Chains A and B, each alone.
Chain A
Amino acid sequence: MRKTMMVALLGAVSAPPLHAQSMRTVTMSRQIEDRNEVQVDVEYGVGRFSVRPVGEGLLYRMNLSYDEDRFEPVAEYSSHRLDVGVRSLRRTHLGGSRQSGELQLELGRGVPMDLDLEFGAVHAEIDLGGLTLTDLDLSTGASESVIEISEPNPEVIESASFEVGAADFTLHDLGNLNAQRIEVDAGVGSLKLWLDGDWRRDSRLTIDMGLGALELHVPEGLGIQLRKDSFFTALDSEGLVKRGDNYESLDWNDAEHQVTIDLDAAFGSVKVIWIR
């Protein structure tokens, strides 16, 4: 996809300005200044959105295509704080929708990052593998999002949070996040959490779901304990045994790593699927 974007950018910059479009393409990049932690805030509204790691040397590289009549790019770096994305020029941006934009963001490996991702109605493909994350907050509105942590995070995250509005949200390799606590707050939609990856510590996963379907994909060998506090929520707890008020995997007590899942769901269904 990056190649496609690059070709589009090259085409855009090379072509004479004869089209009656208001799309603007911007590419931005910044070298790594030092190895101190950087607070990275990313905000993006509508379109396609991707995040992936980039090689050594760059703090970030961003390829952005947007409607310049409606948005303006944001790329501010100061005092180890990086703000990137687009910002709306108007108070409302409903109606009159034209060609949607695209943001491709590459973040540097090896730089400790406190990452805050906020995006709206987007098709998001995010791979945080290889990044050095010290904190992670992800917030999305009505999106179709696939989040992947393809490589283990070398830093320990005390608390990672995912706030999902009305979305089709999939999170892969959650174990690679290396987080002590993971909070998922979902409003409405489909939520698929893959608890695979390289678990390096016991962890607590808190899921607060309003209305929707939750799938928990659990690798064999990972001990999970499900504490369910729900209203009209159906639970398909295949492979779990009920002990007291909790559901536990058969090898809960013997598992190398244990994940405690606190589930607070109002309406919907919860399904536990074992990865064999």
Chain B
Amino acid sequence: MLQRPLPRAALLLGLAAFLTPLAAKAQEREVVSKQVSVSRSEATLDLEFSDDTALEISLRDGLVMIDGDNVGSYQPGGELDAAWRELLGRAVSLEDGPLSEALADWRAPADLAGSLAEVAQRIDQTLETSLHDMEVQVDASDGAVSISIGNQSSLLGALLGSAERIGLLPDALADLGPDVRLHLDEDVDIGEDEVVSGSLVVIDGDVVVEGEVRGSVVVIGGSIDMPEGSQIDGAVRLADARVVRNDGTVRGGVVQVESRPSAPVRPTPPARPDVQRLRDEIREEVRQEARNAARQRDDRGSGLMTPFRAVGRAAGGLVENAFTILILGLIGAAAVVFAGEKVDVIAETARRSPGRAAMVGLAGTFLLLPAWVLGFVALVVSIIGIPVALAWLPLFPLAAALAGIVGYLAVARNTGEWLADSHYPWTGWIRKSNPLITMIGGLVGLMALFVLANVLTVVPFVGFVRGLVLAAGSVLTFVVIQIGFGSVLLTRAGRRREYWSTYDADEAWAAAMNADAGPGDEEARAPETGGEESADA
């Protein structure tokens, strides 16, 4: 395959016929990336070559696209569509060399007619030209032909796509003789002292002749510049080309080669290589922008993993809730063991007067920062107070946090007692006889909204509800902390009873004896009803 002639490289063989016997050798270009994409409405082949060029041929929704350009139409499910899909089916399992060979060997169905045949031929030619690295070697037994190819792929693609130019070739290349220099897709400069012994053919390139050409100069798809002192012994033949300057000597005259009437007309001539390159660049930029936008969209969390990350987040959140309860329970256990009576006093205050405790707690919260700063300033002003001030800085916030936590735990104990009395089926495990269990039960109750919010994480379309639950949980926690903190302040960390609730048999007896007494005896009844008793009174 590497050394086979190009049966379908119509242009070069055509040129060869006009010029001289030559042998064109070709090898497959290296395909570094392949993509075959097939759906009911589309069959697309994307190739990327080692020289960073790419080829995309797509039959999509009735349109045939080559590198993004519409080159014709086809009947979905028709013969061309089936043949193309059959080719892609083989391409799926092939790589590199065998892939190139299979694609280059593809033949359009023979029985296609009209515009469909032209489109199929266009696909065929595009595959052929794109998949071959052209290496033209000359076997000129009776003359010399040198062929130089610049950008082979873009040139041949453009040239083969231009039937109009092919139609110009017979006239443009007629009677050039055996000694021909052919330049494809590159600019040519014949220097002042340079002499071209034969003819010069430049296709898709600009030529500057400052020296001498002893044959003719043929320019197809470019321009010619002949400054003063240049000499061309033959003619200058222009096909789809122009003269920049004609100050030299042209013995055969300048001839414009017109297309023959019988030349076939392609529906959509391809763009010039430079325009095509520009299109490719713009297309690539647009693609890159789209990719960037897609990446940014994914970064915002719309990736495929979103629902499944939610499961992990929910599980993590629930575990976090469990650990929070565990840690607070441990602190509560320590508080019950080491300061159980004080916790009782704080809890009793929170239970009896939650509103008052909350207000005190709120005020205390607002006063924390000023108290901290003023306390520090007050300590610093005296020399003896400076060491204390150094301890004040970390210990005051620590004490405040501890007060909040202990207060929260005290409220949790009250909540646990309430849940134990509530006879809900899921609160049976809470035993009031065990203050620690009661406290943990209360913590579970207080954190129930957070648990619910974590559970709702995995439920789709309830984000708003989850937000509400989370907000309610936060508000509840804030209120509970304020009540607890206020209770700690009111009871001076549980050292001063705000309320009397301990049963006293003597007082109960006295109260019972004075049950019918007048209003002046209200004070005696207070212990029985658990009424408020000021510690300062």
Contacts and interface: CB of A to CB of B under 8 A. Distances in A.
A211 B34 CA distance: 44
B298 A13 contact: no
A94 B307 contact: yes
Interface in B156-182: none
A17 B312 contact: no
A267 B320 CA distance: 12
Interface string B395-407: 0000000000000
Interface string B83-104: 0011011001101100000000
Nearest to B297: A91
Contact of B39 (A24, A119, A163, A188): A24
B302 A77 contact: no
Interface stretch (B25-33, B373-381, B485-493): B25-33
A211 B304 contact: no
A142 B308 CA distance: 6
A93 B304 contact: yes
Nearest to A15: B85
B39 to A, nearest CB: 4
B311 A88 contact: no
A19 B312 CA distance: 38
A20 B41 CA distance: 10
A16 B77 contact: yes
Given A17-B40, A19-B40, A25-B38, A120 B33 contact: no
Interface string B309-324: 1011001101100110
Contact of A27 (B36, B42, B76): B36
B53 interface: no
B1 interface: no
Nearest to B309: A141
B307 A120 contact: yes
Nearest to A17: B40
Contact of A188 (B92, B309, B311, B322): B311
A121 B312 CA distance: 12
Interface in A1-54: 6, 9-10, 12-31, 33, 43-46
B33 A14 contact: no
Interface string A140-164: 1111000000000000000000010
B88 A13 contact: yes
A213 to B, nearest CB: 14
A33 B315 CA distance: 43
B34 A120 contact: no
A31 B315 contact: no
Contacts of A79: none
A21 B42 CA distance: 12
A132 to B, nearest CB: 20
Contact of A165 (B39, B41, B85, B311): B311
B348 interface: no
Instruction: Name, among A12, A17, A26, the residue most crowded by chain B CB atoms within 10 Å (CB to CB).
Output: A17
Interface in B265-324: 291, 294, 298, 302-309, 311-312, 315-316, 318-319, 322-323
Nearest to A28: B35
B303 A88 contact: yes
Given A58-B95, A188-B311, A266-B322, A13 B304 contact: no
Contact of B33 (A10, A29, A142): A29
Among B34, B39, B309, B318, which residue has the most Cβ atoms of chain A within 10 A?
B39
Contacts of B32: 30-31, 33
B39 A31 contact: no
B43 interface: yes
A167 to B, nearest CB: 9
Nearest to B307: A94
Interface in A192-242: 210-211, 231
A30 B33 contact: yes
B334 interface: no
Contact of B34 (A29, A63, A71, A143): A29
A47 to B, nearest CB: 10
Given A12-B38, A13-B43, A165-B311, A187 B316 contact: yes
Interface in B1-56: 30-43, 48
A16 B35 contact: no
A88 B48 CA distance: 25
A165 to B, nearest CB: 4
A31 B31 contact: yes
A152 B323 CA distance: 39
Contact of B305 (A29, A91, A118, A231): A118
16 contacts: A9-B92, A13-B43, A14-B86, A17-B81, A19-B40, A27-B35, A28-B34, A31-B33, A33-B32, A63-B92, A140-B308, A141-B305, A165-B312, A166-B308, A166-B315, A266-B319
Given A19-B40, A45-B304, A210-B316, 13 more contacts: A9-B89, A13-B85, A17-B76, A25-B38, A29-B33, A30-B34, A33-B32, A57-B95, A73-B37, A88-B304, A165-B309, A165-B312, A188-B311
Interface of B: 30-43, 48, 76-77, 81-82, 85-86, 88-89, 92-93, 95-96, 291, 294, 298, 302-309, 311-312, 315-316, 318-319, 322-323, 326, 460
